[in-house]
């Protein structure tokens, strides 16, 4: 039986190496030969209270930066916006620090580090900052985390008939964990999904029994980034949205599904 979910994309956020935001990233995604790998620039989120701002790790900074971009573009009411946060590893630097502390004779763990170690810590920072009590889901599916998050966000959007903010972000581990789980860069993406006809691009997730590999970026350098960071598995979809042309894509983590992109004339 074929199953299809259709939503519109009202807002997009992007932050990654050489990609400062969605507005500046669109021409580079359309013409990847112009893209240059530069370290991702992370800043403390202005919307967080000072205490939370000091404690925020890289994945929190990434997530809030792209979430703010998407919500601003859509003009969304963040206080009543349901969210889906997905990451392959959570706060990598905090995880490394906890492992180092547990390797000492004292095994003393900072309460703040423990709080930041839970996988829904990013959702907590966002919903505190926006004073939101809307539903929130936090996911992890290793390299398929973006695809799993997209499926969850689209299913919630269609079933509840309400906007859903999807945020996917990953940041590299410090050594020695980096040698075990290497991520090539910090990368984040946000999609504000909604139902109902408007002039926004449309995504349709359709079940498909055909076996096929995940879609690539059509550019070697950009595809290296896609394969180097789980959240960057979103790049083929972002290229299709930036190019404003119809596309049919396979995304890692969405085995058995095709993502169709359609733009209004």
Express each pLDDT in 24-55 by its tens digit: 999 999 999 999 999 999 998 989 988 888 88
From the options 3.40.50.300, 3.60.150.10, 3.30.360.10, 3.40.47.10, give the CATH code of 8-201: 3.40.47.10
Q: Is 91 helix (H, G, I), strand (E, B) or coil?
A: coil
pTM comes to: 0.95
User: Distance between CA 70 and CA 72 in Å, rounded?
Assistant: 6
With beta carbons less than 8 A apart as the criterion, state whether 79 and 128 touch. Answer: no
User: Distance between CA 29 and CA 27 in Å, rounded?
Assistant: 5
- CA 206 to chain CA centroid, nearest Å: 21
User: Which of 20-24, 190-194, 200-204 shows the lowest per-residue confidence on average (mean pLDDT)?
Assistant: 200-204
Q: What is the pLDDT of residues 168-184, one digit of tens each?
A: 999 999 999 999 999 99
Mean pLDDT over residues 94-100, rounded?
90
With beta carbons less than 8 A apart as the criterion, state whether 76 and 11 touch. Answer: yes
User: Distance between CA 33 and CA 30 in Å, rounded?
Assistant: 9
Pairing of strands 247-249, 187-194: unpaired
User: Distance between CA 78 and CA 57 in Å, rounded?
Assistant: 21
Q: Where are the beta strands (DSSP E) in 88-240?
A: 136-139, 164-170, 187-194, 202-207
Helix axes 220-228, 235-243, angle to 10 degrees: 130
With beta carbons less than 8 A apart as the criterion, state whether 5 and 194 touch. Answer: no
pLDDT bucket at 200, cuts 50 / 70 / 90: confident
User: Distance between CA 70 and CA 239 in Å, rounded?
Assistant: 16
Residue 139 backbone dihedrals phi, psi, to 5 degrees: -125, 160
Q: So where are the chain's domains?
A: 8-201
With beta carbons less than 8 A apart as the criterion, state whether 12 and 73 touch. Answer: yes
User: Which of 4-8, 26-30, 209-213 shows the lowest per-residue confidence on average (mean pLDDT)?
Assistant: 209-213
């Amino acid at each position: 039986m074929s199953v299809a979910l259709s939503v519109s994309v009202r807002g997009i956020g992007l932050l990654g190496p050489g990609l400062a935001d969605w507005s500046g990233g669109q021409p580079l995604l359309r013409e990847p030969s112009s893209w240059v790998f530069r370290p991702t620039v992370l800043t403390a989120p202005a919307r967080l209270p000072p205490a939370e701002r000091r404690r925020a790790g890289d994945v929190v900074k990434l997530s809030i930066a792209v979430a703010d971009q998407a919500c601003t573009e859509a003009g969304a009411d963040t206080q009543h916006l349901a969210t889906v946060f997905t990451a392959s590893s959570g706060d990598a630097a905090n995880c490394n620090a906890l492992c180092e502390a547990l390797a000492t004779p004292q095994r003393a763990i900072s309460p703040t580090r423990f709080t930041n170690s839970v996988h829904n810590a990013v959702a907590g920072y966002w919903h505190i900052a926006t004073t939101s009590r809307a539903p929130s889901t936090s996911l992890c599916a290793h390299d398929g985390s973006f695809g799993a998050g997209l499926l969850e966000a689209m299913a919630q959007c269609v079933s509840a008939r309400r906007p859903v903010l999807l945020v996917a972000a990953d940041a590299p581990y410090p050594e020695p964990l980096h040698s075990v789980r290497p991520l090539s860069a910090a990368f984040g993406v946000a999609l504000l999904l909604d139902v109902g006809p408007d002039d926004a691009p449309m995504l349709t997730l359709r079940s498909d029994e055909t076996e096929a590999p995940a879609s690539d970026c059509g550019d070697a350098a950009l595809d290296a980034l896609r394969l180097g960071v789980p959240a960057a598995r979103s790049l083929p979809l972002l290229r299709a949205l930036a190019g404003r042309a119809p596309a049919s894509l396979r995304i890692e983590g969405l085995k058995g599904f095709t993502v169709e992109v359609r733009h209004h004339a």
